[in-house]
Amino acid sequence: MAPRNAAATDIRTTLLENGVVVATETLPNIRSASLGVYLDIGSRDELPETNGLAHLFEHMVFKGTKRHDALSIVKAFESSGGQINAYTSKEQTCFYAKVVDTEVGAGLSMLLEMLLESVFDPTELGKEKEVIIEEIKGGEDNPEDYVYDLFSEAYFGKHSLGFPIAGTAKTVRGLHRKHLVAHQAKAATKLPIFVLAVGRVNHAEVVDIARKAFKLGATGHNARARAASSSRKATSAATAAFTASILDGSARKSTSRTGSDGKQRHLVQKRPVHQVTAVLGGPGYPWNHPNRYALLLLNCIFGDGMSSRLFQSVRESLGLVYSIYSNPEFMIKAGVYSIGFATEPKDMGKALAEINKQIVALKKNGLTRDELDFSKRSIRGGILLGLESTGTRMSNMSRQLMYGLPGESIDKILDKLDQVNAADIRACIRDVFQKERWASAAIMPKSATLSIAKTLDF
């Protein structure tokens, strides 16, 4: 295999006595840093009646704290060329920023202040709920966005993994300030929180900022705080053992989640649209599954990118779609693999027939040796190119901590990719392409009559 050139860096991790994890990766030769505060909670951790709470919380922390109003928060980052943003997923809420190195302290302090000291002004809350409802309506009006919520509902049913991340208009309207205050208190005291910084950063300074935000006093008086420091080459051993102790011994236990295998359901919505927008999918792998890397490699060949089998056949050879793609989603105790595309109603049957044909060929013949080698080179290259982004490095670090993947350094990831063989790929194909476990969702014109359920015959 080609040399990896995964640059050695200084990765350090500290567990504060209140259970908050602080982790940094120091890159001394750049003049910027990515900062992130990750909460181990998302839409799958909500009740039906509070669906959308994590997403509403994400919005409301931008609306003002005890010391800064909404405009001051944004200006604190943009005045020096920085950026601030946030997202909510099924399993986490993240507040993140990109700043120049001289603004690391101020930027991280502001992120933590937003999390811990937001006031949730009732007037602002009323306005922001309407903003989110408009966001939901906008997503529902866009078939390419909404079909994924519909597919989650089809595959996961009433399980919380089937909830829309933003909630519904009804559930958002039913959320009140008391819900946000309780959510904030839970974040301050119970939720697993990871404070991360990657770039030109000083670990001790980042720890001090986190300690101050959580009102823990001076570092020198923290006899219970523990830290592990290592170069990139030593990360696997040192950080693995340390992170395992974090996950097992922290007062902030990882969020308890029930798994779901998904069901064979097929949902259709008829609308005044011109195209059929569809997602088909079935079982994937959870984060900790040993064959996760095989699925990444399989996906690279099957539907990820312009050189993939699906793109070359359904689009390039037959001209049936503008785009078509597949995607594995890895979660805690759950996983799903999906294919998404849009086409004219008259071409829907042809597109499904070709997708079926490609799946049948895959189940019969697997990947060729050249395809497996290609996928390894492609994913390896993407990983190495990602090393140039502090944001990508921070995301990788967050996955290690939040998904219990200690020591999953870049070198270790590349090693695991290299070790995948044809037998692993065949096992992956058997696990994923089980027709009796596949679901679908489609948004189509009112005149369309095609049944996706009856055309899945692989």
pLDDT of 219 reads 59
424 residue type, one letter = D
pTM: 0.91
pLDDT band with cut points at 50, 70 and 90 for residue 226: low
Burial of 67 (0-12, 13-18, 19+ CB in 10 A): exposed
pLDDT band with cut points at 50, 70 and 90 for residue 454: confident
pLDDT reading at 225 higher than 80: no
Q: CB neighbours of 96 closer than 8 A, spacing ≥ 6?
A: 34, 35, 36, 37, 84, 85, 86, 111, 391, 394
- Answer for the pair 277, 45: CB distance below 8 angstroms, yes or no: no
E strands present in 72-181: 83-88, 93-100
Average pLDDT over residues 102-130: 98
E strands present in 206-357: 226-231, 266-271, 276-283, 324-331, 334-343
pLDDT of 336 reads 97
Instruction: Give the residue among 398, 278, 400, 289 at the shortest CA–CA distance from 334.
Output: 289
Q: Quickly count helices (H) and strands (E) in the chain.
A: 17, 12
In the 8-state DSSP scheme, what is residue 312? I
For the stretch 366-415, pLDDT in tens is 999 999 999 999 999 999 999 999 999 999 999 989 888 766 778 889 99
Average pLDDT over residues 51-65: 98
pLDDT of 237 reads 46
Instruction: Give the residue among 374, 353, 383, 387 at the shortest CA–CA distance from 25.
Output: 387
Instruction: Give the residue among 177, 161, 186 at the shortest CA–CA distance from 251.
Output: 186
The CA-atom distances, in angstroms, between 67 and each of 62, 70, 73, 110, 113 are 12, 10, 10, 10, 9
User: Is the fold of 10-249 the same as that of 266-455?
Assistant: yes
Instruction: Give the residue among 138, 442, 446 at the shortest CA–CA distance from 276.
Output: 442
pLDDT reading at 328 higher than 80: yes
pLDDT band with cut points at 50, 70 and 90 for residue 250: low
Average pLDDT over residues 409-434: 95
pLDDT of 5 reads 45
How far, rounded to the nearest angstrom, does the alpha carbon of residue 31 sit from its chain's CA centroid?
Answer: 27
Phi/psi of residue 118, nearest 5 degrees: -60, 140
Q: Give the C-alpha separation, 410 to 200, whole Å.
A: 19
pLDDT of 248 reads 53
Q: Which ranges of 167-281 does DSSP label H, i.e. alpha helix?
A: 169-173, 177-189, 203-213, 235-249
In the 8-state DSSP scheme, what is residue 311? I
Domain ranges (residues) in the chain: 10-249, 266-455
pLDDT reading at 227 higher than 90: no
Average pLDDT over residues 403-431: 91
Structure tokens at 275: 């195209």
Average pLDDT over residues 77-105: 97
More confident residue, 3 or 16: 16
- Answer for the pair 342, 334: CB distance below 8 angstroms, yes or no: no
CATH topology of domain 266-455: Cytochrome Bc1 Complex; Chain A, domain 1 (3.30.830)
Residues 16/399/24/255 CA torsion (nearest 10 deg): -10
Mean pLDDT of the chain, nearest integer: 91
Instruction: Give the residue among 435, 431, 439 at the shortest CA–CA distance from 457.
Output: 435
Average pLDDT over residues 38-53: 97
Instruction: Give the residue among 282, 437, 457 at the shortest CA–CA distance from 352.
Output: 457
Collapsing DSSP states into helix, strand and coil, what is residue 66?
coil
More confident residue, 225 or 185: 185
Q: Give the C-alpha separation, 183 to 456, whole Å.
A: 43
**CATH number for the segment(s) 10-249:** 3.30.830.10
Structure tokens at 193: 């929180």
Query: What are the residues facing 401 on neighbouring strands?
Result: none
HSE-up of residue 453 (Cα within 13 Å, Cβ side)? 13
Measure CA of the first residue to CA of the last residue in the chain; give whole Å. 35
More confident residue, 66 or 255: 66
pLDDT reading at 2 higher than 80: no
For the stretch 140-176, pLDDT in tens is 999 999 999 999 999 999 999 999 999 999 999 999 9
- Answer for the pair 115, 228: CB distance below 8 angstroms, yes or no: no
- pLDDT-wise least confident of 4-8, 128-132, 189-193, 300-304: 4-8
pLDDT of 104 reads 98
For the stretch 333-345, pLDDT in tens is 999 999 999 999 9
pLDDT band with cut points at 50, 70 and 90 for residue 232: very low
pLDDT of 233 reads 40
pLDDT reading at 224 higher than 80: no
Average pLDDT over residues 16-39: 96
